[in-house]
Chain A
Amino acid sequence: MVGNIILYFVVALVIVIFSFMAIRTDKILRAATYLLFVLLGSAVFYFQMGYQFLGAVQIAVYAGGIMVLFVFAILLTHKPNDKAAPMESHRRIAGAVAAGIGTALLLYALFTMPMVCSSNGTMLSLGEALSGDQITMKMIGEAFTGTNRFQYLLPFEAVSVLLLASIIGGVTVGRKR
């Protein structure tokens, strides 16, 4: 219980701080690294919430796959001494305002969300939420291969088409001529 809270705070801090640093640092490679920490932090949250498979996928796909893409891309497009000067200030102010209003609005929305207030005025704690059945790999496997309600064979097939299309697209864009 307490461990969970401590873990939460650590991870939350990691996410917040590294998110912030990822968008503030001048060095692009560092930004990628900070992003990695954020993603890993998210993965930890997934684990903490009992979504082991999701966490694993997060680490494998994001941290493993996407980050590699980023690093390659950065190395390919990076020039030495390519220190980006910061954006002009009015843009930064505008961005800050946008982010600020966005945060405020989203948080307001979330804190007043009806589900929170409706069920006897109480919210499930993490422990209560985790008290049900664990999600097993079998369940996930069945969900991904079934065609009934709450089974996802069709999206699974469809997303494969999407990935294929992305590959073709990527290849097309990447081809020399």
Chain B
Amino acid sequence: MGITLPILILCLPLFMFLLLGIGGVKMSRKVAGILGILGMGTTMTLAYIVAFTYFFSGNPEFIIDGVRQQYQVFDVTWLAFTPKLVVNLGFLLDPISAMMLVVITTISFMVHLYSWGYMEHEGGFQRYYAFLSLFSFSMLGLVVATNIFQMYIFWELVGVSSFLLIGFFYRLPSAVSASKKAFIVTRFADLGFLLGILTLSYFTDTFNFVSMTSNPMNVLAETGGATFMGCSVLTWAMVLIFTGGMGKSAMLPLHIWLPDAMEGPTPVSALIHAATMVVAGVYLVARMFPVYCVVEASMTFICCVGAITAFYAAVVACTQVDIKRVLAFSTISQIAFMMVSLGVARDYMIPGEHYSGLGYMAGMFHLFTHAMFKALLFLGAGALIHAVHSNDYTKMGGLRKYMPITHWTFLIGCLAIAGIYPFSGFFSKDEMLAAMFARHWFWGAWMTMVAGLTAFYMFRLYYLIFWWEENPEYEHHKPHDAPWQMSLPLIILAAVSCVSGFIPFGELVTWNGAPYHIHIEAPVAATSLTVAVLAILLATVMYRKKNPLPEKFRNALPGLWTAAYHRFYWDEIYLFITHNIIFNGICKAIAWFDRHVIDATMDGFAKVTQKVSYSIRGMQSGNVQAYVLWYFFGALALAIITLICII
């Protein structure tokens, strides 16, 4: 494959960013919008071409003996730290990056299109498209990274584009603080990522994914068994790298930024905070998968973090009022699902286990399907918000009559995420659960429960929005379906969500490139389906019509409900730590110390000199006899002191 297309895929969004960013002021909205959509459309086409070429051309560069290869389209030197440790910028094609190319460009294009309608009346339209392009560029750069450092570079860039987009409505203080929070929390996580890279690359002397993952045991050997605080340094490195992923993918305890990030425009939430950027953590783990497998502890760590987060987020999602928050927590929960799935996977055969690599495939599969239906849900939520001008489900209810397209597409999304056959979520979730059960029954059972919760809160949301009872305000302001620019993406994504489960994903994406034949595990599928259906039924009973049942539930478990409603007080804890301890306790103390101790010492030298200067002025009394006295004493003192010193 030539390098033209890959380079174009990266450069086109960048170019659009510069064009719209610098020249945007001089453009009309329309021109900017069309340019943006066209640019993204072209990129999408190119990405499709590349991805399909990779998957289906059968070119020996890409596939040898049925095993898909990792292929570096290009890899140029960007910065050489040392002769050996060189940062390259390149384009790596392998199953997951090709898959991600498709996901990113698709969703991005949908969002571009959707935004044209959604953002029509907002100021800074051109800027918005510029930022979207920047994000697309960064995200594409991230997924095609040939080395971990390139990934880190783009990792930071997606962070900043996320910051810019969350804070798009920069006149609102809440948006500003949300964007700040998102950036700083992920930045903190990136610190771990950076330290991880430092440690890892110190031993491997390379950043390159291919050379690290192709022979992971070598990496272990290179560390020479070095340990730090009881763990091998490789464990430290991998866990630290995973920390970066935890930040981006909003794993507990670094999840707090994601719900707040919903302050951004809803299409942005769909693109960044549902489909693409937040799965970067998953992608990172998948990318480094063979190395993770070398250190068992890190895999266990990933599993635990994922499992806890998934459950936590699902519980919280059951109580939220803001529809975007519900979706946000749902996203967290689903990503955690993928994490667990990766965590249970192994790149080597465990005796008696046939499924060791299944989790990987399933996670990726879920990543793909989740991106589609979650984007669909977010875009649907955007349409709702667009119609009702509120994020709050209490301002909604009974909307199915007014907004049929939105209603149906949203329902499809809900079914998909709940894992109902034949929607896409069923297939991916089933594979994941199968992998988990195969690893240990505990993971399977736990995550099945989470899946049930998922179905419950999604349908709770669905019913509260579209059923329950009508908001009386509709009479003044009748909600209606969104314009075609917005509806079209909804329909497309809904269609994809319906069918994408039938994609033979295992043929395309596996940890080692060798195809894997998906087959539904009947017991697992049955269990999860049952749980999901039961959960949906429960939701139907509780929320289909206005009734006091939810109120009763709430009153039955007041403590739990309040805690869940306040997201188990994570924000408050963080606020306390950052504001009271770090800001007031450390920063202010240091600033005070600087002014009143260090600076005062420096001033003190001057003051003391001044003081001394004043205190000795009596020497110059104006009386010549006193002068002579000093004179004489001085002469005597010179002689006497020297005398004493010499003798």
Using a CB–CB cutoff of 8 Å, the interface residues on chain A facing chain B are 91, 94-95, 98, 101-102, 105
Contact of A98 among B632, B639, B640 (CB under 8 A): B632
A95 and B631 CA atoms in complex are apart in Å by 12
Q: Are B639 and A94 interface neighbours, CB within 8 A? A: no
Q: Are B639 and A95 interface neighbours, CB within 8 A? A: no
Q: Are B629 and A95 interface neighbours, CB within 8 A? A: yes
Q: Main SS of the interface on chain A?
A: helix
Q: Are B625 and A105 interface neighbours, CB within 8 A? A: no
Q: Can you name 16 A-B pairs with beta carbons within 8 Å? A: A91-B625, A91-B626, A94-B629, A95-B629, A98-B629, A98-B632, A98-B633, A98-B636, A101-B633, A101-B636, A101-B640, A102-B632, A102-B636, A105-B636, A105-B639, A105-B640
Which chain A positions have C-beta within 8 A of B639? 105
Nearest B residue to A109 by beta-carbon distance? Answer: B639
Which chain B positions have C-beta within 8 A of A94? 629
Which chain A positions have C-beta within 8 A of B626? 91
Nearest B residue to A102 by beta-carbon distance? Answer: B636
Contacts of B146-193 to chain A: CB distance below 8 A: none
Nearest A residue to B632 by beta-carbon distance? Answer: A98
A91 and B632 CA atoms in complex are apart in Å by 14
Using a CB–CB cutoff of 8 Å, the interface residues on chain B facing chain A are 625-626, 629, 632-633, 636, 639-640
Nearest B residue to A94 by beta-carbon distance? Answer: B629
A136 and B615 CA atoms in complex are apart in Å by 60
Which chain A positions have C-beta within 8 A of B640? 101, 105
Which chain B positions have C-beta within 8 A of A91? 625-626
A128 and B156 CA atoms in complex are apart in Å by 104
Which chain B positions have C-beta within 8 A of A105? 636, 639-640
Which chain A positions have C-beta within 8 A of B636? 98, 101-102, 105
Which chain A positions have C-beta within 8 A of B625? 91
| B110 CB → nearest A CB, Å | 99
Q: Main SS of the interface on chain B?
A: helix
| B92 CB → nearest A CB, Å | 92
Known pairs A91-B626, A101-B633, A101-B640; list 6 more (Cβ under 8 Å). Answer: A91-B625, A94-B629, A95-B629, A102-B636, A105-B639, A105-B640
Report, nearest first, the 8 A-B pairs whose CB atoms are least far apart. Answer: A98-B632, A101-B636, A94-B629, A105-B636, A98-B629, A102-B636, A98-B633, A105-B639
A94 and B625 CA atoms in complex are apart in Å by 11
A95 and B628 CA atoms in complex are apart in Å by 10
Which chain A positions have C-beta within 8 A of B633? 98, 101
| A89 CB → nearest B CB, Å | 14
A102 and B629 CA atoms in complex are apart in Å by 11
Which chain B positions have C-beta within 8 A of A101? 633, 636, 640
A135 and B625 CA atoms in complex are apart in Å by 41
Nearest A residue to B625 by beta-carbon distance? Answer: A91
A105 and B637 CA atoms in complex are apart in Å by 10
A94 and B444 CA atoms in complex are apart in Å by 100
Nearest B residue to A95 by beta-carbon distance? Answer: B629
A94 and B629 CA atoms in complex are apart in Å by 8
Nearest B residue to A98 by beta-carbon distance? Answer: B632
A91 and B624 CA atoms in complex are apart in Å by 12
Nearest A residue to B628 by beta-carbon distance? Answer: A98
A95 and B639 CA atoms in complex are apart in Å by 18
A120 and B81 CA atoms in complex are apart in Å by 84
| A26 CB → nearest B CB, Å | 17
| B646 CB → nearest A CB, Å | 13
A105 and B639 CA atoms in complex are apart in Å by 9
A94 and B636 CA atoms in complex are apart in Å by 14
A95 and B625 CA atoms in complex are apart in Å by 9
| B381 CB → nearest A CB, Å | 94
A39 and B633 CA atoms in complex are apart in Å by 27
A21 and B636 CA atoms in complex are apart in Å by 25
| A84 CB → nearest B CB, Å | 13
| B645 CB → nearest A CB, Å | 15
Which chain A positions have C-beta within 8 A of B629? 94-95, 98
A118 and B337 CA atoms in complex are apart in Å by 107
A102 and B640 CA atoms in complex are apart in Å by 10
Nearest B residue to A87 by beta-carbon distance? Answer: B625
A89 and B261 CA atoms in complex are apart in Å by 86
| A117 CB → nearest B CB, Å | 16
A94 and B623 CA atoms in complex are apart in Å by 14
A136 and B434 CA atoms in complex are apart in Å by 136
Nearest A residue to B637 by beta-carbon distance? Answer: A101
Nearest B residue to A101 by beta-carbon distance? Answer: B636
A91 and B636 CA atoms in complex are apart in Å by 18
Nearest A residue to B639 by beta-carbon distance? Answer: A105
| B114 CB → nearest A CB, Å | 97
A11 and B636 CA atoms in complex are apart in Å by 29
| B621 CB → nearest A CB, Å | 11
Which chain B positions have C-beta within 8 A of A95? 629
A105 and B633 CA atoms in complex are apart in Å by 12
A102 and B633 CA atoms in complex are apart in Å by 9
| A10 CB → nearest B CB, Å | 30
Which chain A positions have C-beta within 8 A of B632? 98, 102
Nearest A residue to B635 by beta-carbon distance? Answer: A102
A91 and B626 CA atoms in complex are apart in Å by 8
A98 and B320 CA atoms in complex are apart in Å by 93
Which chain B positions have C-beta within 8 A of A102? 632, 636
| A97 CB → nearest B CB, Å | 9
A94 and B633 CA atoms in complex are apart in Å by 10
A95 and B632 CA atoms in complex are apart in Å by 10
A98 and B632 CA atoms in complex are apart in Å by 7
| A104 CB → nearest B CB, Å | 9
| B268 CB → nearest A CB, Å | 87
Which chain B positions have C-beta within 8 A of A98? 629, 632-633, 636
| A108 CB → nearest B CB, Å | 9
A102 and B628 CA atoms in complex are apart in Å by 13
| B269 CB → nearest A CB, Å | 88
A9 and B130 CA atoms in complex are apart in Å by 114
| B512 CB → nearest A CB, Å | 99
| B622 CB → nearest A CB, Å | 14
A94 and B391 CA atoms in complex are apart in Å by 92
A101 and B632 CA atoms in complex are apart in Å by 10
Nearest B residue to A108 by beta-carbon distance? Answer: B643
| B340 CB → nearest A CB, Å | 92
Nearest B residue to A91 by beta-carbon distance? Answer: B625
| A111 CB → nearest B CB, Å | 14
A68 and B241 CA atoms in complex are apart in Å by 104
A122 and B508 CA atoms in complex are apart in Å by 120
| B618 CB → nearest A CB, Å | 13
A119 and B632 CA atoms in complex are apart in Å by 33
| B299 CB → nearest A CB, Å | 89
| B370 CB → nearest A CB, Å | 96
A98 and B640 CA atoms in complex are apart in Å by 13
A37 and B636 CA atoms in complex are apart in Å by 29
A105 and B641 CA atoms in complex are apart in Å by 12
A131 and B219 CA atoms in complex are apart in Å by 107
| B634 CB → nearest A CB, Å | 11
A89 and B122 CA atoms in complex are apart in Å by 93
A101 and B637 CA atoms in complex are apart in Å by 10
A98 and B636 CA atoms in complex are apart in Å by 9
